[in-house]
Structure 1
Amino acid sequence: MTDTLSLITSHNPADPSDVLLQIPAPGAFASIEAVERARDAQPGWLLGGAAARSTALGAVAAAIDTAGAELAELAVREVGKPLTEARAEVARTAAIWRYYAQAPYEPVGAVHETAAGPGLLLTRRRPHGVAGLITPWNFPFAIPSWKAAPALAAGNAVVLKPAPEATACARRLAEIAQRALPEGVFTALPGGAPEGGALVSAADVVSFTGSTVVGRAVVRDATARGIPVQAEMGGLNAAIVLPDADIEQAAAHIAAAIAGYAGQKCTATSRVVAVGSALDPLREALCEALRAIPVGDPADPATVSGPLIDERARDRAGDAWHGLDVLTGGTVPDGPGWYAAPTLVENVPAGHGLLHEEVFGPIAALLPADDVAHAVRLTNSVPYGLVTSVHTADLDAALCGLDGLDTGMIRINAPSTGVDFHLPFGGAKASSLGPREQGRAALEFYTAGRTYTLSPTGAT
């Protein structure tokens, strides 16, 4: 029995008449029960030792590799991810599990000399217990994996609450993982706000990726309980182009970061800051590059920009460019599916929402800057600070003149999109709250430090 009558419905964004699943939401009590089962299973998972955890995570990686084609097709159908990008995400997902499969063998502490007298001082990191993971729909395999794999490697059990739009993907990932893991160690629990809120109220550590509004509520509730929490939220990312940049290359990188996956990435570029004389050639090159972006059926390997996740997202993109000077795009194609053309606008008023709020669609504003200092001020003028891409041939400008950027990640002569799973991921200001995730930083987040004093019997 559930404590809610709501339904979880997953549509194909390219063909909304195609319903992947429609199931009752399990309700808040189901989250509590899942955490209790995970808490019962966690001690045995930890005591099984490093070799058992390493072997299990490696088996998950191998199974993902084996099911790669099927998983990519599921991501195309459920969240509208273009096939080529879906295949890359699945490959990265397997690599994430393989990377963390080595983590159980990593040192978890250190031995120190006492200040005086015999004995030992030890530091040791131990798992929190049950990790509650709340994930978005746009990376339905990679984001749950880069949260779950390090949590499991460190000896935690995991309860995953995916976004409703990615329920089928999460359930399939759980099926694969559960074949390699002990019962109760990994649970995927479908649902929405009631299930997510209950998970935060019961888990021992919480990791969230999603909207800023929900992320702040998650941090507030977890902090009130005194448990560790991290939240990865919005981005309003800028690409800065200096006059000495390779304009054609910069335009290609920026167009891909604006329109790839219809701009539905927290690392997508939504503001393009052209410094000085870069403005005119960049305007022309970027418009040409955006017009060349293949838009269409995500199942077509040539497609770069597919549908938005739902009708509301498509309408939000259209509202964003309404009344502005549209350089290219600015249309909603006819036919089935929730599509919007890759769009570039300019002369955007300073108070316009496009310059202060994340749209999560294939649209960006072109902004002029007098010099590098002005570009930095424009970039920093928003509430978010996730990633900035910088395009220049001048290493001094990249390392020194742009040192004032208040973003967590800076990518030189590369798109704002794209992350390395073995390095810390996160931003500044409203983009991130709490510790970083991914890489070794994730292992630290999912464990707590212990300090031991060992004194021999009879020591004074």
Structure 2
Amino acid sequence: MTLISRNPADPDDVLVRLTAPGAFAAADAVERARTAQAAWADAGAAARSAALGAVADAVDAAAAELAALAVREVGKPLAEARAEVARTAAIWRYYAQAPYAPTGAVHETAAGPGLLLTRRRPHGVAGLITPWNFPFAIPTWKAAPALAAGNAVVLKPAPEATACAQRLAELVEQALPDGVFTLVPGGATEGGALVSAADVVSFTGSSGVGRSVVRSATARGIPVQAEMGGLNAALVLPDADFGLAAAHIAASIAGYAGQKCTATSRVIAVGAALDPLREALTEALRAVPVGDPAADGTVCGPLITENARAEVASAWRDLPVLAGGSVPDGPGWYAAPTLVEKVAPGHRLLREEVFGPVAALLTAGDLDHAVRLTNAARYGLVTSVHTADLSAALHGLDRLDTGMVRVNAPSTGVDFHLPFGGSKASSFGPREQGQAALDFYTSSRTYTLSPARVL
């Protein structure tokens, strides 16, 4: 397999062209990581903390270079690329403190002298399979907690983000002992081999591939988590600030061309909210700056591939378009931020994650109806609720089948120190990020310490 990574704003600009290393290379990387892992786990809190802190410093020092690389390779608008790099450094720094945290507890015995201890220990080698849309942050929020807990890491990034992964790996490897962090570029072959060899697996990507990863890992009896997308709704009640809600929702539809699992793809206007929301959101989407991701002020850049743009354009075909609905001429895989209405219940926009800057405007008679519409999707990642009524917001919080609910805020946005994940088809296994990630990359062990003889 020849792996090619192109600039989506200028497809003639090829960043990477290489031959994928194959399944053996992935399996070999795991074995080398397993050899290095024991010493890394035994190195102690100070050594692991210092190493992760050094990665954070290296990311900060290379911030401008990394942001420019994300713009060029995955078409991320410059402002978002800079923010992602800053978050990447912050995540490494956050987990640099984790090695000093307690890893267990001491308990009294039920009877007699002795001690009962619980202690969390690393699994061994963490196999990480990551997408292209957050080429620095997602590999980091998987690798940093795994390393902090004493695991070694083998990373298989998406082919479209190979150059970003290679540069991140260079920064990480400089701070860590040999073999503790290894990059294996490639596609499905390398990813499958990694799942077949690692001791714990974390995946972010499409639903279909994620289900395959889960099946393979669970058949081996190893811990696995999979984040597999969303079909996220924004609920807007009649008492909402329509200008603010429209600004939040437009940003969640069009930001980075909608190429986020937390992007808004369904907008549900409740009762009398329909007309003012339709007007405000249509105006907001038409005003979104679209164009070269390297330009200051760009919000919506190109889609990642030509096929991705074709999929997005097909999603609005034959639907009434309120904003957008066009594909600009010229180089680059661009699509205008689009809002459609009168979408039939069985339409693909209400069943599948399109992963582009397009959303459907729906109507609900009341909040209960809006909650039912939201929960009807097979995904359950994040929902935003826009209202001035705290009681209504709390009502929605209790009944929505999504892993995250954001009130009077965009559906996009992640707090890396809190658990991240969804329900239903969006996620499988434990949550990512924060303390939840440290728990996932370790297993709990119980020790009974009894005296050799009773005095």
Q: TM-score higher than 0.5 here? A: yes
- Whether 1:440 aligns to 2:444 is no
Which sections of structure 1, spanning at least 5 residues, go unmatched? 1-5
- Structure 2 SS opposite 1:281: helix
- Structure 1 SS opposite 2:139: helix
> Does the CA contact (< 8 Å) of 1:257 and 1:269 recur in 2?
yes
- 2:30 corresponds in structure 1 to 35
- Structure 2 SS opposite 1:308: coil
- Equivalent of residue 251 in structure 1, options 246, 253, 256: 246
- Whether 1:260 aligns to 2:243 is no
The residue correspondences of 1:14-413 to structure 2 (distance < 5 A) are 14-413=9-408
How many residues in Structure 1 have an aligned counterpart in Structure 2? 455
- Structure 2 SS opposite 1:390: strand
2:320 and 2:380 map into 1 onto residues whose CA distance is 26
Residues 310-338 of structure 1 deviation map (CA, whole Å, 9 limit, x = unaligned): 00000000000000011110000000000
2:136 and 2:194 map into 1 onto residues whose CA distance is 20
2:5 and 2:106 map into 1 onto residues whose CA distance is 52
CA shift at 1:423, angstroms? 0.1
> Does the CA contact (< 8 Å) of 1:54 and 1:101 recur in 2?
yes
2:10 and 2:397 map into 1 onto residues whose CA distance is 44
> Does the CA contact (< 8 Å) of 1:14 and 1:338 recur in 2?
yes
Residues 206-231 of structure 1 deviation map (CA, whole Å, 9 limit, x = unaligned): 00000000000000000000000000
1:459 and 1:176 map into 2 onto residues whose CA distance is 54
- Structure 2 SS opposite 1:339: coil
Equivalent residue letter for 1:85: E
Equivalent residue letter for 2:233: A
1:116 and 1:216 map into 2 onto residues whose CA distance is 47
CA shift at 1:400, angstroms? 2.1
> Does the CA contact (< 8 Å) of 1:307 and 1:340 recur in 2?
yes
1:376 and 1:301 map into 2 onto residues whose CA distance is 38
> Does the CA contact (< 8 Å) of 1:376 and 1:402 recur in 2?
no
1:204 and 1:401 map into 2 onto residues whose CA distance is 39
> Does the CA contact (< 8 Å) of 1:96 and 1:149 recur in 2?
yes
> Does the CA contact (< 8 Å) of 1:41 and 1:183 recur in 2?
yes
Root mean square deviation, CA, Å:
0.7
Which sections of structure 2, spanning at least 5 residues, go unmatched? none
Residues 255-277 of structure 1 deviation map (CA, whole Å, 9 limit, x = unaligned): 00000000000000000000000
CA shift at 1:458, angstroms? 1.9
1:401 and 1:9 map into 2 onto residues whose CA distance is 45
1:167 and 1:148 map into 2 onto residues whose CA distance is 16
Structure 1, 399-408 or 435-444: larger mean CA deviation: 399-408
- Structure 2 SS opposite 1:114: coil
Structure 1 residue ranges (4+ consecutive) displaced by more than 3 angstroms after TM superposition: none
1:220 and 1:176 map into 2 onto residues whose CA distance is 33
> Does the CA contact (< 8 Å) of 2:195 and 2:213 recur in 1?
yes
- 1:449 corresponds in structure 2 to 444
> Does the CA contact (< 8 Å) of 2:129 and 2:204 recur in 1?
yes
TM-score of the superposed pair, with normalisation by structure 2 = 0.99
> Does the CA contact (< 8 Å) of 2:397 and 2:405 recur in 1?
no
- 1:3 corresponds in structure 2 to none
Residues 156-197 of structure 1 deviation map (CA, whole Å, 9 limit, x = unaligned): 000000000000000100000011000000011100000000
2:229 and 2:69 map into 1 onto residues whose CA distance is 26
1:254 and 1:312 map into 2 onto residues whose CA distance is 25
Equivalent residue letter for 2:247: A
> Does the CA contact (< 8 Å) of 1:372 and 1:402 recur in 2?
no
CA shift at 1:403, angstroms? 1.6
CA shift at 1:459, angstroms? 4.2
Equivalent residue letter for 2:198: A
